[in-house]
Amino acid sequence: MAFIDKGSSAYQRALFSMLLGSIVTFAVLYSPQTLLGEFSEQFQVSPSSASMVISFSTISLAFCMMFVSAFSNAWGRKSIMVVSLFATSVLAILSSFSHSFHLLLVLRLLLGISLSGFPAIAMTYLNEEIAPASIGKVMGVYVGGTAIGGFVGRVIVSLLTDLFDWHIGLLILGLFSFVCSMLFWLYLPRSRNFKPAGISLRIWLDGLKGGLSNKKLLPLYAAGFLLLGGYVTLFNYIGYLLAKPPYGLSQTVIGMLFVFQLVGSWSSFLFGKLADRHSRAGLIALGVILSLLGAAFTLAGSLVWTIIGIVLFACGFFAGHTVASGWVGKMAPQPFKAYASSLYLLFYYLGSSLLGTTGGAFLSAYDWPGVIGLICGLLVMVMILAATLAGRLGLRRVREQH
- Output the tens digit of pLDDT for each of the chain's 402 residues: 678 888 788 888 988 998 899 999 999 998 998 888 889 989 999 988 999 999 999 899 988 887 886 777 777 788 899 999 999 999 999 999 999 999 999 999 999 999 998 987 887 788 788 887 777 677 777 777 877 888 889 888 988 988 899 999 999 999 999 999 999 999 999 888 777 666 667 777 887 888 888 888 999 999 999 999 999 999 999 989 998 889 998 878 888 777 777 776 778 878 887 887 788 889 999 999 999 999 999 999 999 999 999 999 999 998 999 899 888 877 887 777 777 877 888 899 899 889 988 999 999 999 999 999 999 999 999 999 988 887 766 555 545 444
In a domain, 198, yes or no: no
**Contact assessment for residue 317 and residue 227, using Cβ atoms and an 8 Å cutoff:** yes
In a domain, 194, yes or no: no
In a domain, 170, yes or no: yes
**Contact assessment for residue 382 and residue 223, using Cβ atoms and an 8 Å cutoff:** yes
Minimal CA–CA distance to 232: which of 14, 389, 53?
53
Which residue type is seen at 2? A
**Contact assessment for residue 341 and residue 329, using Cβ atoms and an 8 Å cutoff:** yes
Q: Which residues contact 128 (CB under 8 A, 6 or more apart)?
A: 77, 191, 193, 194, 337
For residue 219, cis peptide bond before it (omega within 30 degrees of 0): no
Minimal CA–CA distance to 242: which of 234, 233, 230, 254?
254
Give the chain's domain count.
1
Task: Give the number of other CB atoms < 10 A from CB of residue 196.
Answer: 10
C-alpha separations of 48 from 37, 241, 285, 301, 320 in Å: 11, 15, 30, 23, 26
In a domain, 204, yes or no: no
Domain harbouring 372, CATH code: 1.20.1250.20
In a domain, 326, yes or no: yes
Q: Which structural domain, as residue segments, surrounds residue 30?
A: 9-189+210-401
In a domain, 203, yes or no: no
pLDDT for position 272: 80
pTM over 0.95: no
Distance of alpha carbon 188 from alpha carbon 370, whole angstroms:
44
In a domain, 157, yes or no: yes
In a domain, 173, yes or no: yes
Residue 248 phi, psi (nearest 5): 60, 40
pLDDT for position 388: 87
Distance of alpha carbon 148 from alpha carbon 153, whole angstroms:
9
Which residue type is seen at 365? A
